[in-house]
Amino acid sequence: TVRAARAGWGVSVVVAVILTVTLPPAGCHRLADYLENIRKDFVGAATVLRDNCERGHGDSCYKLGAYHITGKGGLSVDLKAAYNCFLTSCEKDGKKSINACHNVGLLAHDGRINDDKPDLDVARDYYDKACNGSFAPSCFNLSAIYLQGAPGVPKDMNLALKYSLKACDLGHVWGCANASRMYKLGDGVEKNDDKAEALKKRAKDLHKEQSEAATLIFGE
């Protein structure tokens, strides 16, 4: 502890390191939450999250990935490090594992972790994992991939409709809107005006509900 303090570490970071060694992973993650939310000690929280992620705690890896995205807690902005953190979290059975799978898909889809070359095979696979976990944005992104097609992922209107409908069922406004449009135009599917109108109404209802919910939260 004395050596660490002389090396320029803050006292809270030294304490965090000691507790990380002695606490079980779940306890360490709670410590990181305490440091972040109560003490506002983001450097200490980042230290705990890094060590706890190395011990295989999925939710700590997820939050560490988020820190790397924004450069929080004194960490460098590092999308590749964030990707690896989310990848570890996705493979774990944690509260944030589904979100982590979606984030792996986003970063692969974006391409910035691979010299600006999107990897749609990886994006598709991890969106699929998250969609199977009922994460609506992943289902919608899958529908967009199949709607447009790309090298390695051929255009498939049946799958585009399937994932648009699933996103819609999970409350994604644009999933409903895209499915409505496909039925309205007969774009790759059999034209069906009744289904198109029902999905259009569903999209409008969801938009209204979500707008009202956002207003209520703001009002609180």
Superfamily of domain 134-213: Tetratricopeptide repeat domain (1.25.40.10)
Give Cα separations from 127 to 4, 21, 161, 210 (angstroms): 42, 35, 16, 23
Residue 112 has pLDDT above 70, yes or no: yes
Q: What is the pLDDT of residues 46-73, one digit of tens each?
A: 999 999 999 999 999 999 999 999 999 9
- Secondary structure (DSSP) of 44-79: HHHHHHHHHHHTT-HHHHHHHHHHHHHTGGGPPP-H
CB 176 within 8 A of CB 200: yes
What is the location of CATH 1.25.40.10 in the chain?
A: 22-119, 134-213
Phi/psi for 195 (5° steps) reads -65, -40
Superfamily of domain 22-119: Tetratricopeptide repeat domain (1.25.40.10)
pTM attached to this predicted model: 0.85
Mean confidence (pLDDT) of the chain:
90
CB 45 within 8 A of CB 73: yes
CB 147 within 8 A of CB 160: yes
What is the pLDDT, as a whole number, of residue 151? Answer: 81
Calpha distance 167→135 (Å, rounded): 8
* Region of poorest pLDDT, from 22-26, 103-107, 112-116, 180-184: 22-26
